[in-house]
Amino acid sequence: MSTAFRPSSALEGVRYEIRGRLASRAQELERRGYEIIQLNIGNPGPFGFRTPETMRLAMIENLGSSEGYCHQKGIFPAREAVVMQQQDRGVMDATAEHVFIGNGVSELIDLTLRALLNPGDEILVPSPDYPLWTAAVTLNGGRVVHYHCRPSRAFEPDLDELASQITPRTRGIVVINPNNPTGAVYSRDTLRGIAELAERHRLVVFSDEIYDQMVYDGAEFVPMATLVRDSLCATYSGLSKVYRACGYRVGWVSFSGELEHAGEYLHALELLASLRLCSNVPGQWAVQTALGGFQSIRELVSPGGRLYEARRAVIDGVANSRYLSLVPPAGSMYAFIGVDTGLLPDFDDNQFALDLLEQKHVLVAPGTSFNTDYRNYFRVTTLPDPATLAEVFGRIEAVLDDYAS
């Protein structure tokens, strides 16, 4: 008698639709010979972006030193480079002892939450969010409490509403700035308000800053660690986005702020880091070169640069639509686009994404993939060239015209 092999109940409610059913269907269509414009993932490589050559050379030159395990926190030159960047930004209490290198920020999100959470502990997570944060809290026994970042507020949180969601079980608050999926870059006042709430309630601030240098039109990126003094701040970043090196799988988390009483927590995190031995060693040798070298991202996000002009093409595409609306992204490599439900009252983001894929061979991420409680948004990446994006918006408009008729 056969018995079904059932998955863990811990996976109930865990989703990552960015690489889910729609992405699988896109692969099926590609195998049949269709060309799919994939706008669901922020993966620079397939769109022609290259990792800076100096980073590749740094890896090659140190391959001989990369054949054994390194320290569980990472190689010292990489950790020290993170410290130097933090200190340049005004985070003067950063030290290499408080930096952990991981296999991308994704691994470190899991480890830092696992080291902190007991069953039922609460973490405040933005909605919309990068869905790994919600998933990682859930998988590690915590309870996610989403705080709304609404389009009417340019996707910044309401601090009073946020404060009302803090309970005795709240252990931390997640900040994603610049934001994925919305492209919002939080104001200094908003970030200061979040820091004050964290300090008042002794919450760990988990600040996801993977898009830190990817800002447009004079938007100011403010490192959260410069504002959090009397609580613990964990700052996450890596090589994937700013340095176009997703496949290297190198991220880091740097702790600052109230470190005096964080010793047991950091020891627990080091234990978890030890259990996975170490992160990818060859890629770590690119960190010092990346952070200390020429910052080519600045050209890409300035007028005339590839990312800047692609963002402009998205803004123009929305402006020319009967149905779409957009808070122009001030940062990151995404746009979170709304659909007018006055014109299309039955609009459903998942059905739209499927129809767009099947009929027009364009893959986008439905807004509900990012833990929203509304169904009239979708996310696109701004990585394609402007001509491709103009073509995409023509196809989107055709599907929406069909809905309207």
**Among candidate residues 140, 141, 158, the one with its CA nearest the CA of residue 150:** 158
Tell me: the pLDDT tens digits for 310-365?
999 999 999 999 999 999 999 999 999 999 999 999 999 999 999 999 999 999 99
Please tell me the predicted confidence (pLDDT) of residue 349. 97
For residues 372 and 278, state if they share a domain. Answer: no
For residues 146 and 264, state if they share a domain. Answer: yes
> Which amino acid type is present at position 140?
N
Please tell me the predicted confidence (pLDDT) of residue 20. 79
The mean predicted confidence, pLDDT, of the chain is 95
Distance CA 385, CA 85 (A): 31
Tell me: the pLDDT tens digits for 141-158?
999 999 999 999 999 999
Residue 4 lies in a domain: no
For residues 93 and 242, state if they share a domain. Answer: yes
Q: What is the CATH number of the domain that holds 256?
A: 3.40.640.10
Contacts of residue 331, Cβ cutoff 8 Å, sequence gap at least 6: 177, 178, 179, 183, 184, 185, 211, 214, 215, 216, 219, 221
Of 15-29, 145-159, 388-402, give the lowest mean pLDDT range. 15-29
For residues 72 and 164, state if they share a domain. Answer: yes
For residues 62 and 46, state if they share a domain. Answer: no
Token duo for residue 225:
């660690």
Residue 129 lies in a domain: yes
Count of structural domains within the chain: 2
pLDDT at 1 over 70: no
Domain stops at, among 292, 313, 340: 292
pLDDT at 19 over 80: no
For residues 232 and 108, state if they share a domain. Answer: yes
Token duo for residue 51:
């990792």
Tell me: the pLDDT tens digits for 41-92?
999 999 999 999 999 999 999 999 999 999 999 999 999 999 999 999 999 9
Residue 1 lies in a domain: no
Length of the chain in residues, anyone? 405
For residues 231 and 87, state if they share a domain. Answer: yes
For residues 68 and 30, state if they share a domain. Answer: no
Please tell me the predicted confidence (pLDDT) of residue 175. 98
Tell me: the pLDDT tens digits for 264-312?
999 999 999 999 999 999 999 999 999 999 999 999 999 999 999 999 9
Please tell me the predicted confidence (pLDDT) of residue 2. 62
Mean pLDDT of 31-40: 95
Residue 3 lies in a domain: no
Which pLDDT band holds residue 388 (cuts at 50, 70, 90)? Answer: very high
Domain stops at, among 258, 292, 326: 292
Tell me: the pLDDT tens digits for 214-236?
999 999 999 999 999 999 999 99
Tell me: the pLDDT tens digits for 89-107?
999 999 999 999 999 999 9
Number of C-beta neighbours around residue 309 at 10 A? 16
Residue 77 lies in a domain: yes
Distance CA 355, CA 346 (A): 14
For residues 114 and 193, state if they share a domain. Answer: yes
Quote the pTM value.
0.95
For residues 112 and 208, state if they share a domain. Answer: yes
Residue 400's domain comprises 10-50+299-404
**Measured CA distances, 292 to 83, 287, 376 (Å):** 11, 8, 42
Which pLDDT band holds residue 14 (cuts at 50, 70, 90)? Answer: confident
Do residues 322 and 342 lie in contact, with contact meaning Cβ atoms separated by under 8 Å?
no
Residue 244 lies in a domain: yes
Residue 5 lies in a domain: no
Domain stops at, among 274, 292, 310: 292
Q: What is the CATH number of the domain that holds 36?
A: 3.90.1150.10
Please tell me the predicted confidence (pLDDT) of residue 158. 97
At 24, give phi and psi (nearest 5°).
-65, -40
Please tell me the predicted confidence (pLDDT) of residue 4. 81
For residues 257 and 344, state if they share a domain. Answer: no
For residues 233 and 255, state if they share a domain. Answer: yes
Do residues 287 and 78 lie in contact, with contact meaning Cβ atoms separated by under 8 Å?
yes
Residue 130 lies in a domain: yes
